[in-house]
Amino acid sequence: MSRPPLPPFNAETAAEKARKAEDAWNSRDPEKVSLAYTEDSLWRNRAEFVRGRPEIVAFLTRKWARELEYRLIKEVWTWNENRIAVRFAYEWRDDSGHWFRSYGNENWEFDDAGLMRRRVASINDLPIAESERKFHWPLGRRPDDHPGLSDLGL
């Protein structure tokens, strides 16, 4: 199975890869998202370590059960050969109606088929008032004309 664009990456293909990842995560479909990763993909997400697609699906299922109305924007920070570094922000609310904006960085490493074999994520959560939200598109894919992180000053 191949997941274009394939390494080695350039500015255009790194941005395309990041947008495809953003779109998949905004679907909030753990099974669909897991297919972008190798069968034995290794993750560090905050202080949690995840290995392989079944654990990825379980992790994302728990995540999106807790992080309601999840909307994510990713932006490429840099790339080299088979690696891409992105920064991201996402907004979500908990089941009590409290809103958060989570900021972070991810380091990605891909195999030759374009599947992510390693994902290292560092994330911080900021409580925000509902009036401070910046991500207002309908749930799902971010519209092409919606501002990105830099445009929003994030």
Please report, for the chain, the start and end positions of each structural domain, with discontinuous segments joined by +.
11-132
Structure tokens at 89: 């922000």
User: Could you tell me the fold of the domain covering 11-132?
Assistant: Nuclear Transport Factor 2; Chain: A, (3.10.450)
Confidence class for position 1, pLDDT limits 50, 70, 90 = confident
List, for residues 30-78, the tens digit of each pLDDT value.
Answer: 999 999 999 999 999 999 999 999 999 999 999 999 999 999 999 999 9
Predicted pLDDT of residue 32: 97
Structure tokens at 140: 């799902």
With vertex at residue 38, the alpha carbon angle to CA 33 and CA 41, rounded to the nearest 5 degrees, is 90
The model carries a pTM of 0.97
Contact in structure between 126 and 102 (CB atoms under 8 Å): yes
One-letter amino acid of 9: F
Residue 100 has pLDDT above 90, yes or no: yes
